């Protein structure tokens, strides 16, 4: 089969409605699944800090299970195995006037559950990078655990979390191709639908590869801006005093009442 450049340029520069639908669904599922993963990851990371085994042991099991099994198996199990066993079935729901199919719900939840396990370890590492003296300074002010995390620990941990978080979203964009197995018409399944009608496999798969490359490249620029933004916000113009190195500048502001 000869490579048809006319077909390649046509679908690359003038994508059909099927392609645009797939592109929109890919971006939407990626963003929603990543948000769900961040929320689950933050909750799991905070529970891991607890000394109560009833709290941290289930979280350890969740992280172990999600990281140790293939994502494709998790997607299929969540959508089909639970329904086959009569446990739970995803039904279409209407939200704000929009009908959300059950397979899209399952795709977002499956990707979010998987991402939450990885984000839990990333956030836990970011929290662990904050100096222990700042915990003690916050407790000396009578802060509760929630306020200590919100005002002192998490803002500083976020600088450590941003780079791997950006990489995780990059992976998430490409992982959306796996949800095609449950019939979600994302970018890959849209390509397969067009391929079945035109029989131009190589041209169309090259197009979808370029689309994903463009998506990840655009995200890479935004990720770099985020890293520079948060890096500059805490970069001192002169060497910090000994008190700042010991307690951290954010903690000292709280101690001074600012």
3-state secondary structure 200-221: CHHHHHHHHHHHHHHHHHHHHH
C-alpha distances (whole Å) from 251 to each of 88, 127, 142, 144 are: 48, 15, 13, 15
Taking residues 66-71, what's their average pLDDT?
96
Q: Answer whether residue 244 shows pLDDT above 80.
A: no
User: Each residue of 118-133: pLDDT tens digit?
Assistant: 999 999 999 988 888 8
Our count of domains for the chain comes to: 1
Task: Quickly state the pLDDT bin for 140 (edges 50, 70, 90).
Answer: confident
Q: What is the pLDDT of residue 234?
A: 52
Q: What is the pLDDT of residue 233?
A: 45
Whole-angstrom distance, CA of residue 100 vs CA of residue 193: 21
Q: What is the pLDDT of residue 251?
A: 56
Q: Which of 13-17, 59-63, 150-154 has the highest mean pLDDT?
A: 59-63
Whole-angstrom distance, CA of residue 144 vs CA of residue 79: 40
Domain range for 48: 5-255
Rounded to the nearest integer, the mean pLDDT of the chain is: 87
Taking residues 201-225, what's their average pLDDT?
93
**Beta strands of the chain (E only): which ranges?**
93-95, 98-100
Give me the CATH number covering residue 216. 1.10.3720.10
Collapse the DSSP code of 38 into the 3-class scheme (helix H, G, I; strand E, B; otherwise coil) and give the result: helix
């Amino acid at each position: 089969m000869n490579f048809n450049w006319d077909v390649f340029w046509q679908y690359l520069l003038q994508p059909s409605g099927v392609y645009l639908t797939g592109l929109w669904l890919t971006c939407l599922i990626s963003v929603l699944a990543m948000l769900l993963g961040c929320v689950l990851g933050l909750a799991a990371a905070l529970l891991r800090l607890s000394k109560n085994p009833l709290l941290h042991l289930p979280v350890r099991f969740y992280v172990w299970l999600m990281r140790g099994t293939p994502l494709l198996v998790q997607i299929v199990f969540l959508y089909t195995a639970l329904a086959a066993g009569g446990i739970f079935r995803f039904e279409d729901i209407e939200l704000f006037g929009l009908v959300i199919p059950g397979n899209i719900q399952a795709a977002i939840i499956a990707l979010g559950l998987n991402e939450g396990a990885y984000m839990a370890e990333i956030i836990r590492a970011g929290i662990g990078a904050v100096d222990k003296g700042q915990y003690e300074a916050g407790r000396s002010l009578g802060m509760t655990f929630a306020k200590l995390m919100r005002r002192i620990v998490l803002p500083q941990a976020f600088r450590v979390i941003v780079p791997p978080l950006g990489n995780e979203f990059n992976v998430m964009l490409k992982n959306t191709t796996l949800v095609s197995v449950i019939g979600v018409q994302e970018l890959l399944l849209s390509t397969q639908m067009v391929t079945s009608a035109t029989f131009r496999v190589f041209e169309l798969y090259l197009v979808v590869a370029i689309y994903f490359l463009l998506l990840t490249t655009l995200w890479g620029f935004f990720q770099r801006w985020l890293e520079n933004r948060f890096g500059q916000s805490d970069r001192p113009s002169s060497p910090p005093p000994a008190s700042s190195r010991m307690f951290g500048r954010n903690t000292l502001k709280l101690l001074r009442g600012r």
